[in-house]
Amino acid sequence: MNRLPSFKRKSFRIQGARNEALDVARGRVVLVSACFALAYILVVARVFDLSVIRGRLYNTGEPTEIVEMTAQEQAYRGDILDRNGVILATSLETASLYADPKLIIEPTETAKALARIFPDLAYGDILKSLQKGGRFVWLKRNLTPAEQYDVLQIGDPGLGFKTGRRRIYPNGDLAAHFVGYTDVDGRGLAGVERSFNTYLAAGEQPLVMTLDVRMQHILRREIVKAVENFTAKGGAGVIMDVTNGEVLAAVSYPDFDPHNLDVKNDAAMFNRLSLGTYEMGSTFKIFSTAAVLELAGAEMSDKYDAREPLQAGRFKINDYHAEKRVLTLPEVFMYSSNIGSALMGQKVGTEALKAFYKDLGLMDKIKLEIDEVGRPILPAVWRDVNTLTASYGHGIAVTPLQMVAAAASVVGDGTLVKPTLIKNNDELLTQKGHTDEPVIRIVSPQTAHRMRQLMRLVVTDGTGGNADVKGYRVGGKTGTAEKNINGRYDRKKLISSFLGFFPMEAPRYAVFVMVDEPKGNKKSYGYATAGWVAAPAVGKVVESMAPMVGIEPVMAAPEEDLSASLKRYVKTEEEIKAEKAVQNASY
């Protein structure tokens, strides 16, 4: 037998091994390719199942409108702007989260993940929604981009999003009570959002308010400080253009964030400025004094005996800081004498005073472009004693905004001032009752001038000294009223307010601050009265806003001041001491 040479036998063995390795490699490649192909087929099949087969079931299982956003959410809702074009409310597109319970893979795990993303949603409620029958359930409306991203990371095919519009308030709580807010479907529930809901829903033009966010910030800042410094329940305030009634700033505090409503928090949701009614105390002396000048022909030299409390039936009228002497008309006003003011009301007469208050709009609900407006609380039967008490702001309760508008009517040009929040157009104002009406004269120009003098005197020499701002000639009136609790006045629960006007020679702006139940502190020497609580806040507002509105300070000699001519009717400390010495000697 012939045998192959050894080198050939070795060559055949190498070739065989090589072929065997190639066969193994080909087998592995085929196996891996088959696995990839199978995986691809499975993915395609799953996508087809979700997008076509299950999609058809989804679309035919429920009416299509249940997965659509409401018409309110889809439509563009008009912006709300301040007088300078600053956005107070606008609508932005946001995603809302829904679930198809039949597509949820792991309801328990998905519910846990969603509860971590949305702490305000209870795990049990989420799980219940994910296990419902049907094909659609809302889980969360108006997500932030971060929240939407976190939901996507869950990766559950049963979770989906619908895009709609969310109402956004860039200034947050700054003017929340008057701008208002909407529900999740974009319907207005308060403020101008509610009262102009139809107009805003049309989305044709923005709604322009009379508010100025700069003044709004100043006023709110000072009211918050006063409330905190005097540990009060709350406060309210307004800045108004005396010439046309435009409300430039309006604050009710505590307030709320319209993005995160707490409807159970009555203190925050309640509008103290236009809805709350209060006995305003001595600020009402503005009206009784104007009435005695206008209707009873009183003169600045007239005198009122305030030496003893005034007895009216079972009621006794006292002065808070009793002067216990005969006072001239300017002294009654600057020292805020209840006795003297009651005697003024008595001189005017019951029917005449009631008619005067009615002409001022104090006896009826005021017209305003929002629905949150309070109705005055009047005596069930107006007797002569009610005339006395109403002369200094007791026994009659009105809204602070109503009182400010009435006072502006007396100290401006003497014609009726109607407050307004809307600057848009005549058509809108007509819709809300602000029709073109004839000018209504309340007092003569002479009486209005006298009232300006008296209010300036309160700041230069009376109870409102803490409201004075050098160069701006602020005038005003303090008001400290005890709250009526279940028919009895509580000396420890006060409404302390100050109503200021400037520049007093020709008033352009009214500035009002009210603090509810303040408590005296070390700086106020324990007092919680208006001169210590509210007057300083008004002064700070004037100091901040005057340069903003272009009013230059005026430095004039004291004898040129508006109140200078009234000083001869005000006794000096030396004269008062001498008078009391004579009275004591006579006893």
pLDDT tens digits, residue range 190-216?
A: 999 999 999 999 988 999 999 999 999
Contact 540, 529 (CB under 8 A): no
430 versus 41: the higher-pLDDT residue is 41
CATH number of the domain where residue 76 is located = 3.90.1310.10
Domain that holds residue 192: 71-109+127-209
Q: Which distant-in-sequence residues (6+ apart) come within 8 Å of 272 by Cβ?
A: 234, 235, 236, 252, 253, 400, 514, 516
Report pLDDT digits (tens) over 287-336: 999 999 999 999 999 999 999 999 877 788 999 888 889 999 999 999 99
| Domain end point (choices 173, 191, 209) | 209
Q: Is 524 annotated as catalytic?
A: no
H runs (alpha helix) in 49-106: 54-61, 71-74
Task: Count how many domains the chain has.
Answer: 2
Co-location of 375 and 495 in the same domain: yes
> Where does the pLDDT of residue 11 fall: very low under 50, low under 70, confident under 90, or very high at 90 and above?
low
From residue 16, alpha-carbon distances to 11, 20, 24, 349 in Å are: 9, 6, 13, 131
Provide DSSP, 211-233: --HHHHHHHHHHHHHHHHHTT-S
d(CA 229, CA 114): 43
- Average pLDDT along the chain: 88
Confidence (pLDDT) at 133? 84
d(CA 217, CA 87): 14
Confidence (pLDDT) at 228? 97
Contact 566, 300 (CB under 8 A): yes
Dihedral (CA of 82, 86, 87, 88) sign: negative
549 lies in some domain? yes
Confidence (pLDDT) at 65? 36
- For helices 350-359 and 285-294, the axis angle rounded to 10 degrees is 110
d(CA 128, CA 469): 63
> Where does the pLDDT of residue 229 fall: very low under 50, low under 70, confident under 90, or very high at 90 and above?
very high
pLDDT at 22 over 80: no
Percentage of the chain exceeding pLDDT 90: 72
Range 155-172 average pLDDT: 92
Range 239-245 average pLDDT: 96
d(CA 72, CA 165): 8
Co-location of 132 and 168 in the same domain: yes
116 lies in some domain? no
d(CA 506, CA 242): 10
Q: Which distant-in-sequence residues (6+ apart) come within 8 Å of 363 by Cβ?
A: 354, 357, 376, 378
d(CA 469, CA 504): 12
Q: Which element (helix H / strand E) includes 345?
A: helix 338-348
Range 527-543 average pLDDT: 97
CA within 13 Å, CB half, 99: 25
Provide DSSP, 319-338: -TT---SEEEHHHHHHTT-H
Confidence (pLDDT) at 14? 56
Single pTM value for the model: 0.82
Co-location of 172 and 76 in the same domain: yes
d(CA 417, CA 222): 25
d(CA 479, CA 463): 10
Report pLDDT digits (tens) over 391-420: 999 999 999 999 999 999 999 999 999 999
Measured at the alpha carbon of residue 328, what is the angle toward residues 282 and 293, in degrees to the nearest 5?
Answer: 70
Confidence (pLDDT) at 29? 66
346 versus 53: the higher-pLDDT residue is 346
d(CA 291, CA 289): 5
The active-site residue, picked from 91, 252, 282, 563, is: 282
220 lies in some domain? yes
Co-location of 235 and 311 in the same domain: yes
Q: For 301, which DSSP code? A: T
Co-location of 450 and 363 in the same domain: yes
CATH number of the domain where residue 337 is located = 3.40.710.10
d(CA 54, CA 61): 10
Contact 160, 102 (CB under 8 A): no
Residue with tokens 């005003």: 476
2 lies in some domain? no
Closest by Cα among 238, 268, 280 to 405: 238
Report pLDDT digits (tens) over 247-292: 999 999 999 999 988 878 889 999 999 999 999 999 999 999 999 9
| Domain end point (choices 142, 174, 209) | 209
Strand partners, 397: 377
d(CA 175, CA 86): 12
Dihedral (CA of 388, 394, 397, 403) sign: positive
Co-location of 253 and 198 in the same domain: no
d(CA 409, CA 417): 5
Closest by Cα among 308, 310, 300, 359 to 330: 300
Report pLDDT digits (tens) over 361-402: 999 999 999 999 999 999 999 999 999 999 999 999 999 999
Residue with tokens 């073109």: 436
Co-location of 389 and 253 in the same domain: yes
43 lies in some domain? no
Co-location of 470 and 322 in the same domain: yes
Confidence (pLDDT) at 499? 98
pLDDT at 358 over 80: yes
From residue 54, alpha-carbon distances to 50, 66, 130 in Å are: 5, 17, 18
Report pLDDT digits (tens) over 46-79: 655 555 444 444 343 343 334 455 555 556 899 9
Closest by Cα among 64, 95, 74 to 162: 95
d(CA 19, CA 129): 63
The number of helix segments (H) and strand segments (E) in the chain equals 22, 16
Co-location of 387 and 253 in the same domain: yes
Co-location of 562 and 451 in the same domain: yes
Co-location of 472 and 570 in the same domain: yes
Residue with tokens 């007469």: 349
Interstrand relation of 80-81 and 207-208 (parallel, antiparallel or unpaired): parallel
- What's the per-residue H, E or C state across 232-259? CCEEEEEEEECCCCEEEEEEEECCCCCC
